[in-house]
Amino acid sequence: MQKIRILIADDHEIIHRGISEMLHDVLEYEIVGHAYNGKEALDLCCILEPDVLFLDLSMPVMSGLEAINNIRTLRPNIKIIALTQHDQKEYVSQVIKNGGHGYMIKNSLKEDFLEAIITVMRNRRYISFELSEKMLDEAIETGQTAKKTQEIQLTRREIEILRKIAEDKNNQEIAEELNISLRTVETHRRNMMQKLKVKSVVAMLRYALNNRLIDF
């Protein structure tokens, strides 16, 4: 049975030792090399042609993202799994967009590493469970916020007046700055309070701020 060849790229020796110790008793896997910066990772990929590359994103000489781009161009068959401390979805998006196959947090368990290797070798994307849960929760929260915002349609003028109110301007000052009548300002304020279903200016501003209708 042909072994899965693994290259580890990270600028911290403890990461190399940790992964090597976790996988040393798995007969199907073989650690074929160690790189300590992005350029070295690229060079060793071209020389050793591993099946799987565990790649840190924050490395000297060449960043992990830059290395992914170059490796995908020169050795497109290598499965690249980002191994990092960053758990923000923006990093995940960049890795996948640049051609990465997986994304893991450095404190992942042995079972996670085994699952990641199996998953990418089956030509599927892998994202660690904890990170997937976090991204799902953020997506749900964002969707709920967007839904609330869409339910309340304020006009461009109303939002302008809201921002002036947030700046502690009174009706007369707002009317003068926007070059509209005092009665128009009063009408807009009354309409906004009805739309937002609030009874005070403080509640109106709090609701608008919480739903991202305005910002300070």
Mean pLDDT of 147-163: 73
The residues, any chain, with a CB within 8 Å of residue 67's CB and separated by 6 or more, are 9, 38, 39, 41, 42, 55, 59
Mean pLDDT of 123-134: 78
* Residue 49 predicted with pLDDT over 70: yes
Q: What is the pLDDT of residues 156-166, one digit of tens each?
A: 888 889 888 98
* Residue 213 predicted with pLDDT over 80: no
How are strands ordered across the β-sheet holding 126-127?
A: 29-35, 4-9, 52-55, 79-84, 102-105, 126-127
Residue 151 is predicted with a pLDDT of 57
CA distances to 183, 204, 214 from 190, rounded to whole Å, are 11, 11, 18
- On average, the pLDDT of the chain sits at 86
Which pTM does this prediction carry?
Answer: 0.63
Domains of the chain: 4-136 (3.40.50.2300), 152-210 (1.10.10.10)
Q: What is the pLDDT of residues 58-116, one digit of tens each?
A: 899 999 999 999 999 999 999 999 998 887 778 888 898 889 999 998 888 899 999 99
